[in-house]
Amino acid sequence: MKTKRLAARGQLFVSGALFGLMASVARLASRGGTGFTAAQMTTVRFAVGAAMTLALFRLRPGTFRPVRRWLLVSRGLQGGLAVLLYFIALARIPAGQATLLNNLFPVFAVGISVFALGERPTVHLALALALVTVGVGLVIAPGAGALLAVADAGVLAGLASAVLGGGAVVAIRALRPTDNAPTIFFSFCLGGLVMAAPFSGGPWPTDPRLWALAVAVGVLSFFAQILMTHAYGVFTVAEAALWQQLTPAASFLWALPILGERLSPVGACGLVLGACGVVYGSVLGHRPAEGLPPAPIAEPVEPA
């Protein structure tokens, strides 16, 4: 079990780094009047993800095994709408701030999991999550003015994506004892296409460089989501939430060279504080989930 937990931590760490990179790439592809709209970007992301997952199903027969179909539908629709709102936020406010708002979803997820799954975070885990959240807040402090403009559509979209994302990850945790990661991700892609495609009309970009960026967003999302979903078979929602709070920090680090955004000394302190919180929670915060198996009981095939 210790080996599984160590592997799951690595999966969430890499997943966070990939999600952070994806945010910067998506913002590049959405810049200016000739870039992708939020709905178009979401549609491309999920089309690429669905195509890659179908290829995996073809290469490894038996991987697609839906069990709890209605819960898969719920995860797909909630997650799809959350991503659409996230890309709306990315198109309107800086990548780091949009990612921070979206990544409040672990906080909402922990609250939902208490009632939906009967999970109870330990005191150490709750303190660690608070510590990491404060650290992330320090990272975005220089741009807090944009976050205070709550009437801004980008900020509202980011907050709404966090609420829906919290419900979606609780659905993932509930699904993992019966459904494998690629099957859950495929439902996510289908839900995202249903939510985004109807709003993706209008002129599409013609620049091949923008299309390359959009496809890269889909590829990064595929690997990040598969790793994250797989890790939810080992961790409770609260434990996974702790690690996922590092994603906004990763977004800011990627945005430094890619988008030219800056990180202040206060923000650097926030990164260190967040890392300390993750270590503290990982060492002292573990407690098995109540009412759910610690690992999936039906994992016939997983991606390499």
Of 114, 62, 109, nearest to 82 by C-alpha is: 109
Contacts of 260 (CB under 8 A, 6+ apart): none
The residue among 117 and 25 whose pLDDT is bigger is 25
What's the average model confidence in pLDDT over 209-237?
91
Crossing angle (nearest 10°) for helices 153-175 and 69-92: 150
Q: Answer yes or no: is 183 within a domain.
A: yes
Q: Answer yes or no: is 100 within a domain.
A: yes
Q: What is the pLDDT of residues 154-191, one digit of tens each?
A: 778 888 998 898 899 899 989 989 999 999 999 999 99
CA dihedral 274, 120, 168, 51 (to 10 degrees): 70
What's the average model confidence in pLDDT over 139-155?
56
Residue 249 has what pLDDT? 72
Q: Answer yes or no: is 297 within a domain.
A: no
Q: Answer yes or no: is 296 within a domain.
A: no
Sheet strands (E) in 167-210:
none
Q: Answer yes or no: is 290 within a domain.
A: no
Geometric angle at alpha carbon 175, from 172 and 181, rounded to 5°: 70
Range of the domain at 238: 2-284
Q: Answer yes or no: is 293 within a domain.
A: no
What's the average model confidence in pLDDT over 22-45?
87
Q: Answer yes or no: is 299 within a domain.
A: no
Q: What is the pLDDT of residues 108-132, one digit of tens each?
A: 887 788 788 887 777 777 787 777 7
Q: Answer yes or no: is 304 within a domain.
A: no
Domain total in the chain: 1
Inter-residue contact 152 to 144 (CB < 8 Å): no
CA distance 39 to 102: 17
Q: What is the pLDDT of residues 52-93, one digit of tens each?
A: 999 999 999 999 999 999 999 999 999 999 988 988 887 777
pLDDT interval class at 146 (50, 70, 90): very low
| Assigned token pair, 268 | 């650097």
